[in-house]
Amino acid sequence: MSFSYCRAVVRLVLVSASAWVLTAHGEAAAGVKLFKIVSPRDDIVVGVDVEQLGRGSEPAVQRLAALLADKGQVTLWQYASTKEADGALVQAPLRQISVFKSELLRIEPYSTPLPIRPFLATVK
């Protein structure tokens, strides 16, 4: 193998790794966990602040289900894919919604390759 071929392969690996780290960092920095809520009417993606979920050894989806069971209703942010001013796609808060435990069929974790914008930055 030639030296220039090896350099090209190393550059490709480094660029791929840095893109993966930046995406993971964007999701972690937001402090928001996304969930898909399935009801008889529709499916929506919601964001929950990690502090609202609390700490525990259970998966985050179980902590959200327990929070909803305890309170009966929770106000969350609905998330959607949107374009920023520079044209980049992101998962961003759309509106605040109330979720009632009596209307749910299922809650599941939602993963996205897009950066997640925190909802705290949108409150004015």
Report the predicted TM-score, pTM, of the whole model to 2 decimal places.
0.71
Q: Return the higher-pLDDT residue of 43 and 123.
A: 43
- Is the pLDDT assigned to residue 124 strictly greater than 60? no
Contact 90, 117 (CB under 8 A): yes
Give the Å distances, CA to CA, from 37 to 8, 20, 25, 44, 118: 44, 27, 25, 5, 19
pLDDT for the residue numbered 71: 93
- Is the pLDDT assigned to residue 83 strictly greater than 90? yes
Place 15 in a pLDDT band, splitting at 50, 70 and 90.
very low
pLDDT (tens digit per residue) in 32-50:
999 999 988 899 999 999 8
Q: Return the higher-pLDDT residue of 121 and 116.
A: 116
Strand residues in 2-88 grouped as ranges (E): 32-38, 43-49, 73-83
Q: Return the higher-pLDDT residue of 7 and 73.
A: 73
What residues are paired with 116 via a beta bridge? 91
Number of other residues whose CB lies within 10 A of the CB of residue 9: 11
